[in-house]
Amino acid sequence: MRRVTLTQFLIEQQRAGRMTADLRLLLEVVARAAKAISVNVSKGALAGLLGEAGTDNVQGEAQKKLDVIANEILLQANEWGGHLAAMASEEVETVHQIPFDYPTGGFLLLFDPLDGSSNIDVNISVGMIFSVLRMPPSEQRATEESFMQPGREQVAAGYALFGPSTMFVLTIGHGVHAFTLDREMGSFIYTQPFMTIPEETREFAINASNARFWEKPVQRYIDELQQGKAGPRGVDFNMRWVASMVADVHRVLTRGGIFMYPMDEKCRHQGGKLRLMYEANPMAMLVEQAGGAASTGRERILDVQPHKLHQRVPVILGSRAEVERVNDYYREA
């Protein structure tokens, strides 16, 4: 059986006119950075990489040592290639400009370098999320305003999952494609073409400890699921929650279901829990490309107009019928 590498896949997409050479090279650099992060994650305590870094990120959250390392790997890998006008990281307050001694390009890269890092010390799956936008052609130098584009303008999005195997999951607007790292070869191998979210589902992912803070439509929806066969849905549902968005969304992409981090009274003052530009937009693009839906409960995530780099939003995504049911409950409320 012919084994197709990520590089071969991207070259074929370029030849088919679905992407430019610069975008292909950019995605290859991101994938190489993902491999370097995977190596560091897998070392864990052996390399003294567990525990707190002793610093906070821009959101005031305590950083893990691997948060800092993963962020530096992505910044350094992408600075010099000439494909980017600028970068933005969830871990850094301002736009990261390309150093003056390197050429710049026509794309903007955003990333969450290590999603779910609270799981590192207990050896549970974590990930990396990225999003690619075009640099506005009318601008000479990238600023924060250059990044203020709704998610529907993304030209590529994806994530790396650092679990029992390392995976790289990608969309360039023509379906969702998954690659598994062959550690002996050092290459990502094409293992799951055109991932599609199953329409039927009996799983949901939500942080149930926040139930008392949820809005009424979410309480109604989750209550129906928890009633199981005795309730209006007539089937039993299972709850799954990893507290790593990459791991939870990967399960939804693979097995169907719904992932929710909705608006609640704890996070209302900041607009939601998850970051629009680094988490919600790239995951929403992937989910929609896989046949699902992604909403804030009030509007399509990919239509949200950003107004700041670290903006937060509610997130409800997964199997289309389930997301639409939640949206209906919001409309009724």
Annotated binding site: 90, 112, 114-118, 207, 273, 279
Count of other CB atoms within 10 angstroms of residue 306: 18
Could you give the C-alpha distances from 92 to 14, 59, 144, 217, in angstroms and in order? 32, 9, 12, 34
Distance of CA 181 to the CA centre of its chain: 18
Could you give the C-alpha distances from 11 to 31, 108, 116, 132, 142, in angstroms and in order? 14, 21, 32, 18, 28
Helix 320-332 vs helix 216-227: crossing angle, to nearest 10: 130
Enumerate the H helices of the chain as residue ranges: 6-15, 21-43, 65-79, 216-227, 245-255, 281-289, 320-332
Q: How far apart are CA 329 and CA 264, in angstroms?
A: 15
Residues contributing to the annotated binding site for Mg(2+): 90, 112, 114-115, 279
Q: How far apart are CA 308 and CA 93, in angstroms?
A: 11
Residues contributing to the annotated binding site for substrate: 115-118, 207, 273
Enter the tokens of residue 270.
């900041």
